[in-house]
Amino acid sequence: MDQTGSAPTDLDDCRLTAVGLLFEVSQAIEGLLAPQLAEFGLSGVEMGVLIRLARTPDNRLRMSDLALQCDLSASGLTRVVDRLEKSGDVRRDACVGDRRVTYAVLTQAGMHRVTSMLPGHVAQVEEVFTGLLEPAELAAMLDALRTIRDSIRPGSTAGAEGHAEDDLANRSTPASA
């Protein structure tokens, strides 16, 4: 017991440090990327939805799978897809075999929007995040993050089967501007 009669806590616990650093870095990166996304009229959540659809076979996911992958509630995803539908980036398709299922589908306009902003977005991600790591550090971080994600959010890759996650093979150094 400490002087207040409470059990002592270990504020130097590395687990607190790990989760604190993860939150701090995540929030900082979101803040650094937000202005560039705003130039394209997108929020970070909207960009996340578009990127997930663009990287998925046939550019479509069941709404329930997309909500899980984007860590959104069903109603939260509905609001995001509503906005993306109004801008022409996404459409909804009903499932022929099951009327309860609806797909979010990236349109050609949505793919064009993603591919238009991707070079600048990837360059900025490289500048503020991935480029700060050696290739082996980045590979280890990706493995660790996937291990954690798969444990705490099983099914978070549903609907994306057949998509190789060979991110490091696609990593390139952007040209200096």
Residue 126 has pLDDT above 90, yes or no: yes
Helices marked H in 1-159 — which ranges? 14-39, 44-54, 63-69, 74-86, 108-128, 135-152
In which band, very low, low, confident or very high, does the pLDDT at 159 lie, cut at 50, 70 and 90? low
Any idea where the domains of the chain sit in the sequence? 16-157
Report the alpha-carbon distance of residue 11 to residue 18 in Å, rounded.
12
- 16-157 classified as CATH 1.10.287.130: no
Across all residues in the chain, what is the average pLDDT? 87
CB–CB of 53/46 below 8 Å? no
- pLDDT tens across 33-76, in order? 999 999 999 999 999 999 999 999 899 999 999 999 998 999 99
- The mean pLDDT of 116-140, rounded to a whole number, is 96
Residue 22 has pLDDT above 80, yes or no: yes
CB–CB of 61/22 below 8 Å? no
- The mean pLDDT of 77-101, rounded to a whole number, is 94
Cβ contacts of 71 within 8 Å, gap of 6 or more: 153
pTM of the shown model: 0.80
